[in-house]
Chains A and B, each alone.
Chain A
Amino acid sequence: MTNSEGVTPKRSASSFSLSPGFWLKLVVVGLIDAAFIAAIPVLVANQSWMLFGLLGLNVLLINWAYLSPRSNAGKWLAPGLVFVTIFVVWPIIYTGYVSVTNWATGNVLSQQQVITNLENEVIRVEGEGTNLELAIYDGPEGLAFLARQPDGATYFGIARQSSEEPIEDALIDTTGIDLTGDLPDVINDYSKLGLRELLGIAGQIEALVLDIPGGVIQAQTTSSARLIQAGQRYKYDAETDTLYDALRDVTCVTERGNFVCDGQRLDPGWRVVTGFDNYQRIFGDQRIRAAFIKVFNWNIVFAVMSVLLTFSLGLALANALQHDKMRGKAFYRSIFIIPYAIPAFLSIIVWRGLLNANFGQVNALIESLGGSGVPWLTDGTWAKIAVLGVNTWLGFPYMFLIMSGALQAIPNELKEAAMVDGASAWRVFRSITLPLLLVSTAPLLIGSFAFNFNNFVLIFLLTDGGPAVIGAPVPVGETDILISFTFDLAVNSGRGNNFALGSAIVIMIFVALAAISAFSFRFTKRLESIYGN
């Protein structure tokens, strides 16, 4: 990082010309615009407003970046920014939106879906287990249902669309036709449809009912039907935004994402924006707040220690290999890459088995060396040590790689000069090698910190946050980090999932982590100005 800001020349937009490159650019941007415009009708038809907005925004960005004479860096940044805005920024904004809703078990659908769901509900005339046998016939006047009660009574008649008005005399007289055994293939000029034919028109059959005295018959499968009351149980009135329940004869009002009938909440409900309730709960609920602070502290320790440990081990190994007369460099390097090459989720599960207090191989090894077993995953302190140990195993190869490169890059003359001046090897390392390394790798260390801060996979698979803090009012474990704690709180809340509460915590984690990172980057700036030239 040798360039100080002033040295680099200012580059203007002077490179604009009517060169072939310009025309190519015009064509490409034109194609993107055309594709977007062509997609607009579909987007509108599907009501994909989210995508419409995002694409529109990015198309504008591209047009500006490549066509505006004032755009300078824009054309270099635009390709990457398109993906960053759609797949990173937008999810953050959406998470923010979820955090101010009531999105939790019982409130996951949209209001329209809830209404459809409820309006599909029918009132059965008779109880469970009294389904009718059904056959469907095709004839001159349309499809006809033949339904037989368990007691042998039969109904045969022309089915109608359930949305149409009832037919008074839908039933056809079947006197003289034997309907006791297997149902006949032909009745008058109606012929029975086979399974294949029926399933081919299943969508139409679903919409049909047969009127009989006291109700209607509706197909349940292609061979069975149920007797229901004509008309549906719930009816939504869009004007008053209320729901009428025909069975209980009550009108239900809407309240915070649910229909409430006579003071009783009706499930399912739908998602609505409820404001900052979830944030208030995190700060206002003493139990959550206490756990939150405890977890936050360990989270910082965990992330910092993870970086420190992987950094030191990686550096130590890179340093040990860094000698002209060392043999077997390729051998060692290949071994150290292995933990990095195995998919992490798998090696974490293996470590979990190895660390088992009673039967794990780690304790077996310690015991065979004369030590006594360690409660790795069941004692709070040891579990924390185990988590850090495993994370060091997972992370040191990366640091080792980086450090190997960084070490080789430090000019030998610098070290030799210091040696000549009589400095000890440790002294040289401390005052020359380490500072230079820190300058060049600080961004990586911050990146590593940010990654480990939210290292959900490690905690979830190794300890699942455990061992539990005994007697804690909310489920929290000794090794829980914010993200695993959030997961527990969101998934195992008092009543199923609570996405909204989880999202609120995620947003808070994001803000905290961004603040810490921003601060760290300022700090690296200082480092640079001290050690950089």
Chain B
Amino acid sequence: MQKKPVIWLALLTVFALVLAACGSGEETVDAGDTTTSVIAETTTTTQAVTTTTEAAPMVELVIWADENRAKAIEEVIPAFEDKTGVDVIIELVDFGAMKDQVGVAGPAGEGPDIFIGASDWVGELATNGILEPIDLGAKADDFIASAKDGLTFNGTLYGLPYAVEAIALYYNTDLAPEAPATMEDAAAACADMVDITNCIGVTGGGDGTDAYHMYPFVSAAGGYVFASTDGIYDPTDVGLDSAGAISGALALETLVKDGVMASVNYDGAKNQFLEGTEPFWITGPWELGALNDQDTVNWAVAKLPKIADGTPKPFVGVQGFFLSSFSENKLVAQTFLLDFMATEEGMAAMFAADGRPPVHNAIIAATADDAAISTFGASAADGVPIPNIPEMGAVWGALGDNMAAIRNGTVDAETAMVNAATAVREAVNQ
């Protein structure tokens, strides 16, 4: 045999290593010369002071956000960097993985200073010691109470809210010119229509179990997940099989049996509405963008129709900024949050990029003309915060599965609610 193969092997290795090496130089952080010089100046002016003799370190703020929200804060950041000389680094982390990643990376010293997340993470992260309390101080009054409540756990505020979201009713104004006041009205309206595939589209059926979208049926007639007093939840008082929850579930069962609400998942409900073959679609403000982008369907938004003679109380999710207790730049991070984000400009930028109903009073006033946004805001005002205690983890699956069973017609309403409540109780008590 000739020598060739050895050369081949060597070449392959070298090629692999070269490839591995190339490009890894890009990751050095751009420190920004201007910043450094300013800090140097500071040091000279305070030279006499004992507390500031050592050279000031380069201040860096790491923010974790998902793609949408990263876009929003990107608009605020240049102003902050200019004014402060702090270097802000945004790292994209997908929303679904953020909570767990913060939990692992924070204690290991690799986490962010600030991250953007949702109210239902607060309990678990605070219990784990990952979150730093946030003190809104004089700015507290600029924010609506329900938003602050959503980010409060055991009486302490753990985040700076910027948006609330709750589901409401989208309706096709060509098919149904008037928003229905009750679910029965919606069903009756559909009876006269031709060419519709499904009347009320909402995920939570088929393979799309979804306790969040189904919760209005639980809450309309007085059902609840965990009882609460003054914002402190009692995980041992489960209300999923209370009389109110069951009558809501029975109303759902009737809609299913009458063929008014097909057993669809999220994409199914969305597709039918966008195709113009589904007059009503229940979901949240995150779809406003998709609807504004299309011109097939004429649509409007209304509050959720009444269910079993009760006003549905959808789950209200609060989006907010959290401060990691492992941040080494808490003062800088708090300054960023309170002096730059918790302002009218900051909140306006967040609203412009994210589009969810705002929580800052000035922005609410400024968007009052936007019918869709204010309707979603009103729906959130009717709603209840998603319980943010860690025990909520046991609820999503149990409730979602059993509501889906009602939708799919595999279990009767009462049994389903009893099953859901039992499963939650067992999980909490174990």
A and B touch in the complex (CB under 8 A): yes
Interface residues of A, Cβ cutoff 8 Å to B: 105-106, 108-110, 113-114, 117, 120, 128-131, 133, 138-143, 150, 161, 193, 195-197, 199-206, 208, 219-224, 226, 267-268, 285, 287, 352-353, 355-359, 375-378, 463-464, 466-468, 470-475, 477, 488, 491-497
Residue in chain B with minimal CB distance to A197: B42
Can you list, as one digit per residue, whether each of B280-312 has a CB less than 8 Å from chain A (1) or not (0)? 000000000000000000000000000000000
Residues in chain A near residue B390, CB distance under 8 A: 105-106, 495-496
Can you list, as one digit per residue, whether each of B305-332 has a CB less than 8 Å from chain A (1) or not (0)? 0000000000000000000010011111
Interface residues of B, Cβ cutoff 8 Å to A: 38-39, 41-43, 45-46, 48-52, 56-57, 59, 83-86, 100, 103, 107, 123-124, 126-130, 135-138, 140-141, 157, 197-198, 206-207, 209, 262-265, 267-268, 271-272, 325, 328-332, 334-335, 338-339, 390-391, 393-394, 396-398, 401-402, 404-405, 408, 410-411, 415-416, 419, 422-423, 426-430
Residues in chain A near residue B408, CB distance under 8 A: 375, 378, 467
Given A129-B138, A196-B42, CB of A221 within 8 Å of CB of B209: no
Contact A199 B335 (CB under 8 A): yes
Residues in chain A near residue B427, CB distance under 8 A: 474-475, 492-494
Contact B339 A466 (CB under 8 A): no
Return the contact of A468 from the options B130, B328, B338, B404 (Cβ within 8 A). B404
Residues in chain B near residue A495, CB distance under 8 A: 390-391, 393, 428
Residues in chain A near residue B83, CB distance under 8 A: 195-196
Contact A470 B405 (CB under 8 A): yes
Interface centre among B46, B422, B428 (most CB of A within 10 A): B46
Q: How far is the CA of A353 from the CA of B416 in the complex (A)?
A: 26
Contact A129 B136 (CB under 8 A): yes
> In the complex, how many angstroms separate the beta carbon of B39 from the nearest chain A beta carbon?
4
Residue in chain B with minimal CB distance to A205: B331
Contact A358 B262 (CB under 8 A): yes
Q: How far is the CA of A111 from the CA of B323 in the complex (A)?
A: 21
Q: How far is the CA of A138 from the CA of B42 in the complex (A)?
A: 10
Residue in chain B with minimal CB distance to A208: B51
Return the contact of A203 from the options B57, B338, B402, B430 (Cβ within 8 A). B57
Return the contact of A356 from the options B84, B264, B397, B411 (Cβ within 8 A). B264
> In the complex, how many angstroms separate the beta carbon of A247 from the nearest chain B beta carbon?
14
Given A378-B408, A468-B401, CB of A108 within 8 Å of CB of B137: no
Q: Would you mind naming 16 contact pairs between A and B with Cβ atoms under 8 Å apart?
A: A113-B129, A114-B129, A128-B135, A199-B331, A200-B56, A204-B52, A220-B135, A223-B335, A226-B137, A356-B206, A375-B408, A377-B206, A467-B410, A470-B405, A474-B426, A497-B393
Residues in chain A near residue B335, CB distance under 8 A: 195, 199, 202, 221-223
Contact B263 A353 (CB under 8 A): no
Contact B128 A206 (CB under 8 A): no
Contact B84 A196 (CB under 8 A): yes
Assuming A358-B198, A468-B404, what are 4 further A-B pairs, CB within 8 angstroms?
A199-B85, A199-B335, A204-B51, A492-B427
Interface centre among A106, A201, A219, A470 (most CB of B within 10 A): A201
Q: How far is the CA of A514 from the CA of B404 in the complex (A)?
A: 37
Interface centre among B48, B207, B430 (most CB of A within 10 A): B207
Residues in chain A near residue B396, CB distance under 8 A: 492
Given A202-B59, A357-B263, A474-B427, CB of A128 within 8 Å of CB of B128: no
Contact A200 B38 (CB under 8 A): yes
> In the complex, how many angstroms separate the beta carbon of B237 from the nearest chain A beta carbon?
15
> In the complex, how many angstroms separate the beta carbon of B10 from the nearest chain A beta carbon?
13
Interface residues of B, dominant DSSP = helix
Residues in chain A near residue B56, CB distance under 8 A: 200-201
Residues in chain B near residue A355, CB distance under 8 A: 207
Q: How far is the CA of A130 from the CA of B405 in the complex (A)?
A: 50
> In the complex, how many angstroms separate the beta carbon of A471 from the nearest chain B beta carbon?
5
Residues in chain B near residue A378, CB distance under 8 A: 206-207, 263, 404, 408, 410
Contact B331 A202 (CB under 8 A): yes
Return the contact of B127 from the options A128, A268, A287, A470 (Cβ within 8 A). A268
Contact B42 A200 (CB under 8 A): yes
Q: How far is the CA of A486 from the CA of B390 in the complex (A)?
A: 18
Contact A105 B48 (CB under 8 A): no
Contact B264 A359 (CB under 8 A): yes
Q: How far is the CA of A496 from the CA of B42 in the complex (A)?
A: 46
Residues in chain B near residue A267, CB distance under 8 A: 126-129
Residues in chain B near residue A467, CB distance under 8 A: 207, 401, 404-405, 408, 410
Contact A466 B401 (CB under 8 A): yes
Q: How far is the CA of A100 from the CA of B329 in the complex (A)?
A: 35
Q: How far is the CA of A355 from the CA of B391 in the complex (A)?
A: 33
Q: How far is the CA of A495 from the CA of B430 in the complex (A)?
A: 9
Residues in chain B near residue A196, CB distance under 8 A: 38-39, 42, 83-85
Contact A358 B264 (CB under 8 A): yes
Q: How far is the CA of A120 from the CA of B131 in the complex (A)?
A: 13
Closest A-B pairs by Cβ, 3 of them: A131-B137, A268-B129, A468-B401
Residue in chain B with minimal CB distance to A378: B408
Contact A220 B127 (CB under 8 A): no
Q: How far is the CA of A463 from the CA of B39 in the complex (A)?
A: 55
Contact A221 B405 (CB under 8 A): no
Residue in chain B with minimal CB distance to A498: B393
Contact B397 A492 (CB under 8 A): yes
> In the complex, how many angstroms separate the beta carbon of B299 from the nearest chain A beta carbon?
19
> In the complex, how many angstroms separate the beta carbon of B265 from the nearest chain A beta carbon?
6
Contact A357 B137 (CB under 8 A): no
Residues in chain B near residue A150, CB distance under 8 A: 138
Contact A142 B393 (CB under 8 A): no
Q: How far is the CA of A353 from the CA of B268 in the complex (A)?
A: 8
Residue in chain A with minimal CB distance to B86: A199
Return the contact of A199 from the options B59, B197, B430 (Cβ within 8 A). B59
Q: How far is the CA of A206 from the CA of B129 in the complex (A)?
A: 20
Residues in chain A near residue B57, CB distance under 8 A: 203
> In the complex, how many angstroms separate the beta carbon of B155 from the nearest chain A beta carbon?
9
> In the complex, how many angstroms separate the beta carbon of A476 from the nearest chain B beta carbon?
10
Contact A197 B271 (CB under 8 A): no
Q: How far is the CA of A475 from the CA of B393 in the complex (A)?
A: 11
Return the contact of B207 from the options A120, A133, A221, A377 (Cβ within 8 A). A377
Return the contact of B422 from the options A285, A473, A491 (Cβ within 8 A). A473
Interface centre among A221, A222, A356 (most CB of B within 10 A): A221
> In the complex, how many angstroms separate the beta carbon of A62 from the nearest chain B beta carbon?
18
Contact B128 A356 (CB under 8 A): no
Residues in chain A near residue B50, CB distance under 8 A: 142
Contact B393 A200 (CB under 8 A): no
Residue in chain B with minimal CB distance to A355: B207
Return the contact of A493 from the options B126, B325, B393 (Cβ within 8 A). B393
Interface centre among B46, B129, B140, B402 (most CB of A within 10 A): B129
Contact B325 A117 (CB under 8 A): yes
Residues in chain B near residue A466, CB distance under 8 A: 207, 209, 401, 404
Residues in chain A near residue B401, CB distance under 8 A: 466-468, 470, 475, 477
Contact B207 A108 (CB under 8 A): no
Contact B137 A494 (CB under 8 A): no
Contact A468 B402 (CB under 8 A): yes
> In the complex, how many angstroms separate the beta carbon of B64 from the nearest chain A beta carbon?
18
> In the complex, how many angstroms separate the beta carbon of A298 from the nearest chain B beta carbon?
17
Q: How far is the CA of A468 from the CA of B400 in the complex (A)?
A: 9
> In the complex, how many angstroms separate the beta carbon of B242 from the nearest chain A beta carbon?
19
Q: How far is the CA of A463 from the CA of B209 in the complex (A)?
A: 10
Residues in chain A near residue B38, CB distance under 8 A: 196-197, 200
Given A200-B56, A492-B396, CB of A142 within 8 Å of CB of B49: yes
Contact B429 A475 (CB under 8 A): no
Contact A463 B207 (CB under 8 A): yes
Residues in chain A near residue B129, CB distance under 8 A: 108-109, 113-114, 117, 267-268
Q: How far is the CA of A143 from the CA of B45 in the complex (A)?
A: 12
> In the complex, how many angstroms separate the beta carbon of A128 from the nearest chain B beta carbon?
7
Return the contact of B128 from the options A120, A268, A475 (Cβ within 8 A). A268
Contact A143 B325 (CB under 8 A): no
Q: How far is the CA of A128 from the CA of B405 in the complex (A)?
A: 45
Residues in chain B near residue A358, CB distance under 8 A: 198, 206, 262-264, 268
Return the contact of B428 from the options A200, A356, A491, A494 (Cβ within 8 A). A494
